[in-house]
């Protein structure tokens, strides 16, 4: 069955149901599919709505809040960057240390993102499709980097790999540099960003269930074939969404990276750290120019996120529809 007709079918009985429940709110029959329930809530809200002036004030407050907290700072960055003209703005990127920090940031993202993509897919595959002992613990552990402060994440590595740390003397003996060098920055970035892909995939995969995989296995597909032809197509948009978020955070991380970096110019300064250095050295135009790169990254991320989000919603709906239809 094609997913389109399925969603059409489930959408068909919407309007009568909506009217019905508006008369008797809260009397939803158990097991109503998701989409109609949302509709019903909408009509209910409209029936008990606040006066229009109140709505307008609320919207106004929200917009003002957004404007003050998001748009004004964003504009300030670009005003600061262009304060001395476009030539000065472009000239900022000629500074070798800034150029280096851009390269280092890209390198770190190029290492951290694929690793966390692999880890995230493997972890969510295991958690969503299999039952095993300690699953809940693993699920909570994945969220750990979100729960601890980035500074603590950085300190973990200092305590582990620092000269006075657990592994420090051994590393020193073998002349391996981890913290205050690029490997430490990569490790801290991976730690900070590792929940992002898994957090995005686990709910999606759980929603999709394991029936399709089980069917594929029954039909004789190998584990790898099942993953490649059944699971991956189902999660690809969710995965891409996770990757975009991971990348944005990997390039923008400051706290954890600041702790393990050592701030050596042209050696261990990433773009966010370089922004701080430039700002502290009275190079405001250069600082804001470098910051504007990070803003562009954020805007790109937002655009990509909006596109992918739509596709994710669609693939979720497809999943729901195929369950409803089957």
Partner 1 sequence: MKTLTGKKNLKILGLASALGLALFGLATLPAAAGGIKLLNVSYDPTRELYEDYNKAFSAHWKATVGQDVTVSQSHGGSGKQARSVIDGLDADVVTLALAYDIDAIAEKGQLLPKNWQTLLPHNSTPYTSTVVFLVRKGNPKGIKDWDDLLKPGVSIITANPKTSGGARWNYLAAWGYALKKNNGDSAKAYRFVSDIYKKVPVLDAGARGSTTTFVQRRIGDVLIAWENEALLASDKEAKGKVELVVPSLSILAEPPVAVVDRVAAKHGNAKVAKAYLEYLYSEEGQDIVGRNYFRPRDEKAAAKYASRFPKTNLFTIDEVFGGWQKAQKTHFADKGVYDQIQKEGK
Cβ-in-10-Å burial (0-12, 13-18, 19+) of 235 comes to: buried
Residues 125-184 that bind partner 1 (CB under 8 A): 158, 161-165, 168, 172, 177, 179-180
The distance of closest approach from Cβ of residue 127 to partner 1 in the complex, given in angstroms and rounded to an integer, is 22
The distance of closest approach from Cβ of residue 47 to partner 1 in the complex, given in angstroms and rounded to an integer, is 42
Joined tokens for residue 216:
């594929």
Closer residue to partner 1 in complex, CB, 58/176? 176
One of 156, 198, 240, 291 touching partner 1 (CB under 8 A): 240
Whether the CB-CB separation of 261 and 180 falls below 8 Å is answered with: yes
One of 82, 107, 148, 307 touching partner 1 (CB under 8 A): 107
Whether the CB-CB separation of 193 and 166 falls below 8 Å is answered with: no
Which residues, including other chains, have CB under 8 Å from residue 114's CB and lie 6 or more apart?
A: none
One of 14, 41, 106, 126 touching partner 1 (CB under 8 A): 106
Residues 32-91 that bind partner 1 (CB under 8 A): none
Closest CA to 156 of 171, 147, 166, 146: 166
**Cα–Cα separations (whole angstroms), residue 122 to 128, 191, 199, 204, 230:** 10, 16, 12, 14, 15
Whether the CB-CB separation of 282 and 80 falls below 8 Å is answered with: no
Helix (H) or strand (E) holding 240, with range, is: helix 232-252
Q: Please report whether residue 321 would count as binding partner 1 according to CB under 8 A.
A: no
Residues 266-295 that bind partner 1 (CB under 8 A): 266-267, 277, 279-282, 284
* Binding positions for partner 1, rule: CB under 8 A: 2, 100, 103-104, 106-107, 109-110, 113-114, 158, 161-165, 168, 172, 177, 179-180, 228-230, 232-233, 236, 240, 243, 262-267, 277, 279-282, 284
């Amino acid at each position: 069955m094609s997913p389109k007709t399925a969603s059409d079918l489930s959408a068909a009985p919407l309007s009568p149901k909506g009217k019905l429940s508006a008369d008797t709110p809260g009397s939803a029959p158990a097991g109503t599919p998701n989409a109609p329930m949302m509709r019903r809530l909408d009509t209910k809200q409209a029936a008990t709505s606040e006066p229009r002036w109140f709505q307008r004030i609320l919207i106004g407050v929200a917009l003002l809040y957004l404007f003050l907290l998001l748009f004004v700072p964003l504009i300030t960055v670009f005003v600061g960057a262009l304060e001395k003209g476009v030539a000065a703005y472009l000239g900022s990127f000629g500074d070798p240390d800034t150029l280096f920090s851009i390269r280092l940031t890209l390198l770190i993202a190029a290492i951290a993102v694929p690793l966390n993509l692999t880890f995230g897919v493997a972890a969510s595959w295991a958690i969503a499709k299999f039952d095993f002992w300690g699953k809940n613990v693993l699920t909570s552990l994945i969220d750990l980097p979100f729960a601890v402060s980035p500074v603590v994440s950085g300190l973990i590595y200092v305590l582990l790999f620092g000269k006075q740390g657990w592994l420090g003397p051994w590393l020193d003996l073998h002349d391996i540099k981890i913290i205050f060098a690029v490997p430490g920055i990569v490790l801290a970035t991976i730690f900070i960003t590792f929940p992002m892909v898994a957090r995005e995939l686990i709910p999606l995969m759980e929603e999709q269930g394991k029936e399709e995989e089980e069917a594929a296995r029954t039909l004789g597909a190998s584990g790898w074939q099942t993953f490649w032809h059944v699971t991956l197509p189902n999660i690809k948009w969710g995965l891409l969404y996770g990757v975009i978020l991971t990348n944005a955070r990997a390039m923008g991380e400051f706290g954890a990276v600041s702790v393990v970096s050592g701030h050596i110019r042209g050696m261990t300064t990433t773009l966010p750290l370089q922004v701080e250095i430039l700002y502290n050295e009275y190079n405001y135009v250069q600082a804001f120019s470098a910051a504007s790169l990070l803003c562009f990254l954020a805007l790109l991320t937002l655009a990509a996120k909006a596109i992918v989000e739509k596709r994710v919603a669609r693939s979720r709906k497809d999943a729901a529809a195929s369950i409803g239809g089957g």
